[in-house]
A and B are shown apart, each in its own frame.
Chain A
Amino acid sequence: MTFTLSAESEKIVDELLTRYPTKRASCLPVLHLCQREQGWISPEVIDYVAKRLDLPTSEVQGIVTFYTMYHQEPVAPNVVWVCRTLSCDLRGGREVQKHLEERFGCHVGGTSKDGKFTLKTAECLAACGQAPMIQVNDEFYENLTLASLDRVIDELAAKTGVKSPSGTPQPGTPEARVRAKTLMGLGEG
């Protein structure tokens, strides 16, 4: 199976290529686009990017493994990043993590029983004055209490309708596609 980007995203790639004096400089943004369409960076995505940018697949692979934002495995429609670094830890980051592990029935790195959330830990997300905090997809949720944390998760769970029968993660949600359009410099922001 080969991976293809939507026609719209292809146009964005064309535009990205004009921004830099080399083709390979578009590698990070193009990978972001692919991940926003498909939900993760599959081997097929790596092949696609390598071909599109005239790079050896091993180079693209090396980039994907270097940066934490690229998911090398399928993830749930919502990726929850709990900040574990010092300022958050001083104000309850660990409690947030524990609470989510209990609620999701999984450990960090795993996906919730209902398949809607993948739980990860993040290093300092530049929100230290609003600790404790989590990032879910593109949004920051700050100054959390256990009650507000539960509310955030409840709302997201209600919005995440697509649930596969097996409970396996569902990459490439429609919402993710919409986000891709507004992000890469061509949308309304």
Chain B
Amino acid sequence: MADFPKVLSNRYALPQSWTLKTVEAHGAYSAARQAFTTMKPEQIAAEVKDANIRGRGGAGFPAGVKWSFLPKDSKVAPYLVINADEGEPGTFKDRTIMELDPHRLIEGCLIAMRAIGANVCYIYVRGELVTSIKRLEAAIEEARSRGYIGKQPFGVNHELKIYVHMGAGAYICGEETSLLNSLEGMRGEPRLKPPFPAVKGAFGAPTIVNNVETIASVPDIIRMGGKAWSDQSRLPRDGGTRLYGVSGHVKTPGVYEAPVGLTLRELIYDLGGGMLYAARPLKAVIPGGSSTPVLRPGDLVHAPDEKHPLHPWHGKSHIDVPMGVDTFRALGTMLGTCCAIVMDDSVNMVDVARNLMHFYSHESCGQCTPCREGTGWLHDVLRNLCEGRGSENDAAMLVEIANNMMGNTICAFADGTAMPMLGLLQKFREEFIEAGKRGAPKHTLGATVRGIGFTGGAA
């Protein structure tokens, strides 16, 4: 297996890696000390900009640029809010940071607060992640007892407070404005943008919302310098290393750190250990959480024009294109959370769609009609298809429902539902037509597992 240098995850394997005692012998808080005692806030922000770090929460927005959107003339201090609501199906990377190295996130928060001039940071953690919450709270307590959090961190007059806020079970609260409403003690319904959170966010004040992994990368950016951190990547304008997840039909599912620009082939066959069963080849992969449209290994990049962003991979399989925010957008999908769901050829795609649309219909907040009705309707049609009550026209109907959701709602949830639905329909249309004629083979997903895990004999 390829051995990539570990940066963000270099302390994961230490005994009791979540305690200060362990991690301080391995550099914890040295970057924060450096930032507070030797750098001006603008210098910190400049390093983060040079690092070309694209947000790790799914949208891939450059963090350094986001920080620069804070109004310069604001009378109130901005808030830093950490998005630890990890709920996108297939995504399980932020949890590893919070459970295995919470001090790295806390250190990142300290440095980010210094850079943007915040005094208070809320870490909004998904309520189900109790171990993460406990370890973060213990880490905050440890950092406070050392004075890293408090009135004069590292001897500098910049008061810092960090609180964990426990969510209560709602995927939509990962959407940043919904998260802010939930933080304020309201139903987690997204807000209209603009105003963007950087201008008017938590409690009406300017607010930066960043993902756990984004902020946990900041200490390394300061330690290495923005440019050197960025250059670890294989791609331009998309810097660093990041956490890749791989789940589904691979031999060694898990979270692995590697440079930005790894290919899906490397993720599946190298880090992921290859397909679970030798006799069942790869059929499809959802590249970065369930909202990102599916890819097929048999599809080849068609970009003969030298100016096309994918030209360097012209003629190659989609799974040989480096995983980056821009490359995957050019491929017609999204990098999302960079956690791939791998499916072998025993899987029926109508059943996959049914599983996912069940999720979206359950999780729609119900505020916008196209989303509330659309998600439920998609799920109904798919359930009928799976249970042999569908028709040949259903595929066309699914396309129409999905198209009516796109772009017609307050937040990106509906797009994140419609895009993967349309992707499945476009790439596996025959399976939907076939299901309309005959009914999808029942429970294909469950069927694939007989014999694995349950009898203990993993391939």
Q: Do chains A and B stick together as partners?
A: yes
- Contacts A22-B184, A86-B355, A92-B446; A189 near B90 (Cβ below 8 A): no
Please tell me if A73 contacts chain B, counting CB pairs below 8 Å: no
CB atoms of B170 and A124 under 8 A apart: no
A66 to B168, CA, bound (A): 9
Please tell me if A119 contacts chain B, counting CB pairs below 8 Å: no
CB atoms of B137 and A185 under 8 A apart: yes
Please tell me if B347 contacts chain A, counting CB pairs below 8 Å: yes
Please tell me if A144 contacts chain B, counting CB pairs below 8 Å: yes
A184 to B166, CA, bound (A): 9
B-chain residues with CB within 8 Å of residue A92 when the two chains form the complex: 446, 449, 452-454
CB atoms of B184 and A90 under 8 A apart: no
- Contacts A92-B446, A129-B255, A189-B135; A87 near B89 (Cβ below 8 A): yes
CB atoms of B347 and A90 under 8 A apart: yes
A-chain residues with CB within 8 Å of residue B343 when the two chains form the complex: 90
Partner of A28, one of B166, B247, B449, B454: B166
A26 to B133, CA, bound (A): 16
Please name the residue on chain A nearest to B93 by beta carbon. Answer: A126
A-chain residues with CB within 8 Å of residue B89 when the two chains form the complex: 85-87, 123-124, 128
Q: Which residues of chain B from 103 to 135 have any CB-CB distance to chain A below 8 Å in the complex?
A: 126-131, 133-135
Please tell me if B188 contacts chain A, counting CB pairs below 8 Å: yes
A101 to B15, CA, bound (A): 38
B-chain residues with CB within 8 Å of residue A87 when the two chains form the complex: 89-90, 247-248, 253, 341
CB atoms of A70 and B245 under 8 A apart: no
CB atoms of B185 and A28 under 8 A apart: yes
How many residue pairs bridge A and B at CB < 8 Å? 189
Please tell me if A3 contacts chain B, counting CB pairs below 8 Å: no
Number of A residues with CB within 8 Å of any CB on chain B: 59
Please tell me if B448 contacts chain A, counting CB pairs below 8 Å: yes
CB atoms of B453 and A128 under 8 A apart: no
**For B92, B183, B339, B343, which residue has the most chain A Cβ atoms within 10 angstroms?**
B92
CB atoms of A128 and B247 under 8 A apart: yes
Please tell me if B88 contacts chain A, counting CB pairs below 8 Å: yes
Report the minimum CB–CB distance from B431 to chain A (whole Å): 16
**For A28, A67, A131, which residue has the most chain B Cβ atoms within 10 angstroms?**
A28
CB atoms of A29 and B165 under 8 A apart: yes
Partner of B137, one of A84, A86, A128, A189: A189
CB atoms of B454 and A95 under 8 A apart: yes
Please name the residue on chain B nearest to A135 by beta carbon. Answer: B128
CB atoms of A85 and B359 under 8 A apart: yes
A2 to B138, CA, bound (A): 34
A84 to B129, CA, bound (A): 17
A63 to B181, CA, bound (A): 11
CB atoms of B184 and A70 under 8 A apart: no
CB atoms of B355 and A126 under 8 A apart: no
B-chain residues with CB within 8 Å of residue A189 when the two chains form the complex: 134-135, 137-138, 141
CB atoms of B449 and A91 under 8 A apart: yes
Report the minimum CB–CB distance from B366 to chain A (whole Å): 9
CB atoms of A123 and B362 under 8 A apart: yes
* Those 6 A-B pairs whose CB atoms lie nearest each other, nearest first: A189-B138, A67-B168, A27-B185, A69-B169, A68-B169, A92-B449
Inter-chain pairs besides A69-B128, A122-B128, 18 sampled, C-beta below 8 Å? A24-B185, A28-B168, A32-B168, A66-B170, A67-B168, A67-B169, A86-B359, A90-B247, A92-B446, A92-B453, A93-B446, A95-B454, A124-B90, A126-B95, A128-B89, A128-B341, A129-B254, A185-B137
